[in-house]
Structure formats: C-alpha cells, structure tokens
Amino acid sequence: MTMRSTCAVGLALTAVACSDPAPDAPLSTVVAYEGATLITGDGGPPIGGGVLVVDQGVITDVGLAANVTIPEGATVVDLRGKTIMPALVDLHGHLGYQRGLGYDEANYTRENLIDHLNRYAYYGVGTIVSMGTDPGDLAFQIQAEQQAGTLGGARLHTAYRGFARPNAGPGAAALRASAYGVSTEEEARSRVAELAETPADFVKIWVDDRGGRVEKLTPDLYRPIIEEAHARGLQVIAHVFYLEDARELVEAGVDGFAHLVRDAEMDDELVAAIVANDVFVMPNLAISERGRHAEPPAWVDDPLLLESVSPEVAARIRASFESRTPEGAARATESYAAMQRSLKKLADAGARLVLGADTGVQDHIQGFMEHRELELIVDAGMSVGDVIVAATSAPAKVLGVDTGLLAPGKRADFLVLDANPMYDITNTRRISAVYLNGQKLDREAMRAAW
C-alpha cells in the first residue's frame, strides 16, 4: 500500500496536543484500488488495469485508469495482478441452527447468528437472506445493529417465518416449528398481515408434500397468501418440488422460486410462463447435486472449506456420502440431469436467475457452498459472465439493496481475487481479501478463531 498524503501520524498527534489554531488538515478518507482487472457485475466486459475509488464505504468512481481521477491525498492500494468483483448476494440461507455437530433450534442465539454472518463474510458473501426460518425477532435486532453501523458481518435480511400447512414446512425437524402453520384462508391472510408489520423482506411459502409425508400447501391457501402479500408490498418466494405446482404458482402470481422443479424437466410452456411473468429462479443445484455421490466428492477435502469447518464436521460430511447406495446415487443423478436441462432452458430463454444456495441446512456450509453453487451453474451450461451477474447485481436488484455492483453510489462490498473467474469460475474461491462497507476483513483472525 502506498500513501499519496504526506501527513504523518506523529505530526497529527502533535497538532492535537498543542493549541495551534490552524492544525494540519486530516488525511483523506478516500482509498483508490488500482491496477486490478475489474468485473463490475453488470454483465459488461472486464476492465483491465482498472481503478476503483471508495470513500467512507461507498464507491465513488470506477473504470479504466485513463478515465478515473484519483483525488489528491487518497490512499492508493496497488492490486496489479488481482481481480476485483462485487461480493456475493445470496437470497436463500438458513442461519442459527448448526453449531459444531449440533443442529437444533436451541442453537439459535445471538452469538451463533453473528458467527454465521461472519462465516458468510469470510467467504465473500456480503449479503444473505434468511429464508423463512427465523423463530423470533433476533434477526431483526441484528439487522438494525448492522444498519446502525455497530455490527459487521454479512448484511442480514430475512423472510422471518414462512408459511406451510401445520408442521409441514422446512424439511429438517429443527426448522419445522419456525414456519407459520395455516389451515384456512382467514388464518393465512391474518398471518401475512402480521408478518407485514415486521421488517421482513419477503414472504416464503413451502409447496411440497415431502414425498407424501406431509400435507402440501394448496392453491386455496397460497393464492390468498400471494394476494395479501402483494397488497402489502411484499414479494412471495416459493419452495417448490413438483412441475404442476410450479405451473400453478406462476399462474397465481408467485414472484420467485427457491428451487428448480425436481420431479421432472421443466417443459417449454412452464419456462415461457416464468419468463413472461418475470419470475426469478434460484437454481439451488448444490444441495441436490450431493445426492449423485456414493463416495465423498473432491470438494469435501477442499482446503478452503476446511478453513472454517472442524475436523468432526468434515468427517460427518464425508460419512454422509459413504452411506449412500449406488442405486440411490443413480436415481439422484437422473433427477439432477433433468434439473441441469431445466436450468439451461431457463438461461437460454432469458429467465431471471439469481443465487440462492440454501446454505445453513445441516452440513451445507455457509459461504463455501455458494462458490460450489456457482461452479455447478456454469457446468449446467450458463456462461460465466451471466453466473456472476446472477450472484451479484441480479439478486441485489430483487432485494432492493445498494450492493452487488462496482458502480458509483453502491456500497463498497467487493472481493479481491488472485485469479480471474472469467477464465474459470472456481477462481472465485481464490480469495485474497474481502471488503465489506469499504473495510477489509481480518480473515486471518477469523480463521484462527475457528
């Protein structure tokens, strides 16, 4: 790092100590990052040898060096050989439940929520939405502290409590009690009105019978939920499994899907309806892709994953693959291939695709699995440039937040990478530094604590 200001700390301290009526001017608050390749997040071509200018946590200028004037007195950081891209924005996580080998609502504490937000931040996820499994007001309290600037970590947003039939929401037993269980239209509308009085960002609904094990939320209930939510200015995101449910949800006015259809390949009619109605879709491939493996895949031993995961949790993840049968893996492989084809259809048709990795379910590790999700989306046939948009500016637009882009006026949430992900999407894992609100995280200290 070089300094363009000539002020010295000792001189500043001397000025404070004396009664000189004309002390030296303070150092500039502007920081300019120069020399890196910039991936802005808007789908445009990378900018080689670019300059990113930040002042007090906000981007003030960005572009080719010839087109950006670095203010006098700014701190200049030389990032030649690096790549800068926006921090990731993930619309689908579940926070607070996993702690070590335990996965339980008793783990849902302030301390654990903050730990999870730090884990997301460590891996370059700057914004995370807790998708419908917050049992109380704690997420709102943490959100308020972050907005006041008194608490760091990944910026938390929440759908508060989602909607399902009684005891028929999230798949994990530990999460199930967090959902509103509704049985009548009156009850459904009343609960939406209750949620609308909170700072919740979305309404989440589960439309799934879990293979016939629970009662599914049906149109007579989810239609009034969608209608009431829209009347109160809230978007509705549906957990979906079956193709026919997806078709009916689009017709009912749902705003987004938290999963792809998983019982069949999406047909052209459904894809066209999703595009025509501007429904955004989270592919959520990584959690389904795990079923293909009857032995531990290579990512289980990725050194980056092991930086935040205890040996005991890593051992359990490995064991989860070893217990699968080849027959079960073959069935999952067939289902997953249909999901890949559906995703390619959606991408080719111009559907709005956004990152939603479902991290925070047991052993689906916060932060790391977002990067795995990006790799799988590229493998399914989406271009790297479009995937980066889907992981940055596109979800930020859905959420309505001032991040996800390297552009003037946006929050300075960005990653410094040792290699360019445009050549290989797995390079998003080669993290040199993470900056949130313009502040560089001490990733070494975070790693040591874990």
255 in any annotated domain: yes
State yes or no: pLDDT of 4 exceeds 60.
no
Residue 26 is predicted with a pLDDT of 56
142 in any annotated domain: yes
Same domain? 70 vs 97: no
- The CATH number of residue 360's host domain is 3.20.20.140
Helix (H, G, I), strand (E, B) or coil at 45: coil
79 in any annotated domain: yes
Same domain? 152 vs 243: yes
Model confidence at 12, pLDDT cuts 50, 70, 90, reads very low
- The CATH number of residue 67's host domain is 2.30.40.10
> Tokens at residue 280, please?
């955004």
Same domain? 355 vs 229: yes
Provide the number of structural domains found in the chain.
Answer: 2
Model confidence at 323, pLDDT cuts 50, 70, 90, reads confident
State yes or no: pLDDT of 1 exceeds 50.
no
CA atoms within 13 A on the CB side of 205: 33
42 in any annotated domain: yes
Mean predicted confidence (pLDDT) in 180-206: 98
Same domain? 390 vs 255: yes
**What is the spatial distance between Cα 289 and Cα 227, in angstroms, rounded to a whole number?**
34
Same domain? 359 vs 429: no
Same domain? 384 vs 429: no
**What is the spatial distance between Cα 161 and Cα 140, in angstroms, rounded to a whole number?**
12
52 in any annotated domain: yes
Same domain? 81 vs 138: no
Same domain? 166 vs 44: no
Model confidence at 322, pLDDT cuts 50, 70, 90, reads confident
Q: Which amino acid is at 250?
A: V
175 in any annotated domain: yes
pTM of the model: 0.93
192 in any annotated domain: yes
Same domain? 139 vs 205: yes
Q: Which domain holds residue 425?
A: 2-85+409-449
Same domain? 127 vs 241: yes
- H-helix or E-strand containing 346? helix 326-349
DSSP string, 154-170: SEEEE--B-EESTT-SS
Last residue of a domain, one of 378, 399, 420: 399
Same domain? 315 vs 413: no
State yes or no: pLDDT of 7 exceeds 50.
no
404 in any annotated domain: no
pLDDT per residue as tens digits for the range 423-432? 999 999 999 9
Same domain? 418 vs 440: yes
**What is the spatial distance between Cα 86 and Cα 404, in angstroms, rounded to a whole number?**
5
